[in-house]
Chains A and B, each alone.
Chain A
Amino acid sequence: MEIFAYFDTGHEFPEEIVMAAGFSPVKILGNVHVGTAVADEYLFSYFCPFARGCLAEALGNAQNWVGIGFAHGCDATNRHFDVWKAHVGKTPFFWVNTPMKVDTTAKGFYGKELRRFIQTLNKQYQIEIKDEKLKDAIRLSNEAKSLMKQLASMRTEKDISNSDYFEMTRKAVQTPKESLVADLKAMLADWKSRDPFPAEKVPILLTGSDVTFVEWMELLDIADFRVVRDDLSLGERYFTATIPEMADPIEALVAYACSIPQPATRMPSDSRMEFLVKVLDETKIDAVVSQNMKFCEPYALDAVWSVAAIRQKGYDVIHLERDYTPATDRQLLTRLEAFKEIIQQKGGSRNA
């Protein structure tokens, strides 16, 4: 199946439409080991390194992709679309303008935008995306999301490393959905047989910028923190809800987009906080790790109030700024370990 790559700084891109078009949607995540040098020719080094990493990946691989989709994630992605169009080969580009809000006007706008996207794909590839195909794609997508939700819920009970969890979420956006479902089922059997949650690990909620490379999750493992809940797009935002199976699949996608937890790129921020509070209320966690990648402005803007709000709920929270590098960051490790020492000397959390 041909790959239709997409650049999405959150979980905004409607993968199901691409699946219904007969392509395999693959989220561009960049390659932190390759670096951003190729992209730095077109983007200054003080821009988001993740976005530069994605551009570097596109510059190297676009010839293997049937198309490149962009979803409006953070505002900077609007301008990235133009930069990519100017420099990334002849691969067809598509823009999906996702709304900032979730009110009635936004829903109407988004429905029209999704229909426009379908028409553009039909015209570009001389195909016809029918409702039935879209419904099939939604069913398949929902099967994967349900399995992911089951897997993620095991983090509180079983010995599931942060790296294992990351690998599951990465696969979800980079593997054809048919084989993904089989992989997730095998993973479920494996995770069920794992040892219980290790006593020495500190269960945490992870919030902030999307973590797009496994090494950062490994850093949390080294510091003995275990992510048992999160609100990341490459995480719970992706599978916390399924797409309603409605008569009109477009309306179903609109309803889905408006029902999932909102990221820091969307407004108002209340719904993002509501999700964090819900997570804190329903899961036993000892602390919250908030982080933003350097130059990731939406989360940096969000951090002060969100950290304060979490503290007000009585939780220990640390906020970290991290780099786009696979190298073990000793200073961040020191901060994390010192944070763990504080939590341990208190004898655990308010929930303990």
Chain B
Amino acid sequence: MRIYNNLKIWIISFGTKHVVKLFILAPSTFFEICEVVMLSVSLDIGSITTKIAVLDCKSLLGTDVSLTSYNVEKAWQDIFRKTLGRMCLKESVVDRIVSTGYGRSSVGIANKTITEIKCHAEGARFFLPTTRSVIDIGGQDSKFIRIGNDGNVMDFLMNDKCAAGTGRFLEVMARALELDIADFGKLSLLAKKPSPISSMCTVFAESEVISLISRGESRENIIAGIHESIANRMLSMVGGSGFVKPVVLTGGVAKNIGIRNALEKKLNIQIQVPDTAQVNGAIGAAILAQKI
């Protein structure tokens, strides 16, 4: 018998297929067997970070994020073992594993690989079931996903192989500004007038930022300008009429409040951001694993 998740849920392993979930209903030692549930794990191997989500049929049991680094296999193996270990779960109790992200095919133990496009759509609907549009900005690409009334992906658009408008773009700009990328969001809120960044190319945009620094432009204004350039790029990729509400923003870049604000202003729509935005694809993959 194992205890995890703040001692609220107990898991007993029966062979390798199913787990029985028990709830503590009172401070006493009284237990009620609720149901046979399926335990699914997902691994979302992105260009910068690897994400994991653990799910039973009703609830998200846990998530984690680690750096992908150059060794993709080691990245997913480490986070997989670490997360299961932290939750006192053996690998044998996991029923389904789905991998997603650019490194999805490297996960040999996966029952299925699913693209991050489908996973992000599913993850966004887990957060907000009525979601119709998803903007996902990750480390090396940005995506727009349109979801139909039936909850399925209708269409999607992705940036070309170019770092502009992605997490990498922000990392390069943070380096030029000698700032921690985590500070970008709050600093951009202090901007008086965003400095326009006209270059779409990351390399040229970095030169532009350096020119703005040398002209004495404030960091806050430059950062706000960088966020606007990402919003502009998303708008030009999708077109103004492409965004159907409700719109959910996912991916690691969604943690940046400045990006959200710039997108809302540029697209003139309200955007929802889940607390789990960075692991949204992994959550979606774990949900889809339940359906295999």
Residues of A bordering B, CB below 8 Å: 321, 323, 329-331, 334-335, 337-338, 341-342, 345-346
Contacts and interface: CB of A to CB of B under 8 A. Distances in A.
A99 B275 CA distance: 61
A346 B156 CA distance: 15
A334 B152 contact: no
A341 B114 contact: yes
Contact of A334 (B115, B153, B155): B115
A323 B161 CA distance: 10
A222 to B, nearest CB: 9
A73 B117 CA distance: 38
Given A321-B160, A338-B153, A331 B115 contact: no
A330 B102 contact: yes
Nearest to A346: B152
Interface in B128-162: 140-141, 152-156, 158, 160-161
B154 A342 contact: yes
B117 A341 contact: yes
B158 A337 contact: no
Given A330-B102, A331-B102, A334-B102, A341 B118 contact: yes
Contacts of B115: 334, 337-338, 341
Contact of A342 (B102, B141, B153, B161): B153
Given A331-B141, A331-B158, A342 B152 contact: yes
A39 B92 CA distance: 57
B56 interface: no
Nearest to A322: B161
B116 interface: yes
A347 to B, nearest CB: 11
Query: Closest 3 interchain pairs by CB?
Result: A338-B117, A338-B115, A337-B115
A335 B160 CA distance: 11
A341 B153 contact: yes
26 contacts: A321-B160, A323-B161, A331-B102, A331-B140, A331-B141, A331-B158, A331-B161, A334-B102, A334-B115, A334-B117, A334-B158, A335-B156, A335-B158, A337-B115, A338-B115, A338-B118, A338-B153, A338-B156, A341-B115, A341-B118, A342-B153, A342-B154, A342-B156, A345-B152, A345-B153, A346-B152
A289 B29 CA distance: 61
Interface in B155-172: 155-156, 158, 160-161
Contacts of A335: 156, 158
Interface in B91-130: 102, 114-118
Nearest to B102: A330
Contacts of A321: 160
Max count, chain B CB within 10 A of own CB: residue among A331, A338, A345? A338
Given A334-B158, A338-B156, A342-B153, 16 more contacts: A329-B161, A331-B102, A331-B140, A334-B102, A334-B116, A338-B153, A341-B114, A341-B115, A341-B117, A341-B118, A342-B152, A342-B154, A342-B155, A342-B156, A345-B152, A345-B153
B111 to A, nearest CB: 16
B238 to A, nearest CB: 15
A68 B115 CA distance: 46
Contacts of A331: 102, 140-141, 158, 161
A317 to B, nearest CB: 11
Contacts of A337: 115
A28 to B, nearest CB: 27
Contacts of B155: 342
A332 to B, nearest CB: 8
A168 B141 CA distance: 36
A14 B105 CA distance: 46
A49 to B, nearest CB: 14
Nearest to A341: B118
Nearest to A335: B158
Q: Quick one: which of B114, B116, B158 has the most chain A CB within 10 A?
A: B158
Contacts of B114: 341
Contacts of B153: 338, 341-342, 345
A330 to B, nearest CB: 5
Contacts of B154: 342
Interface string B16-28: 0000000000000
Nearest to B151: A345
A21 to B, nearest CB: 44
A327 to B, nearest CB: 11
Which of A331, A334, A335, A337 has the largest count of B CB atoms less than 10 A from its CB?
Answer: A334
B148 to A, nearest CB: 10
Nearest to A323: B161
Contacts of B141: 331
Interface string B245-280: 000000000000000000000000000000000000
A154 B140 CA distance: 40
Contacts of B156: 335, 338, 342
B236 to A, nearest CB: 14
Contacts of A341: 114-115, 117-118, 153
Nearest to A332: B161
A331 B152 CA distance: 21
A341 B158 CA distance: 16
Contacts of A338: 115, 117-118, 153, 156
A345 B141 CA distance: 24
Contacts of A323: 161
Contacts of B160: 321
Nearest to B114: A341
Nearest to A342: B153
B11 to A, nearest CB: 32
Interface in B177-203: none
Contacts of B152: 342, 345-346
A196 to B, nearest CB: 25
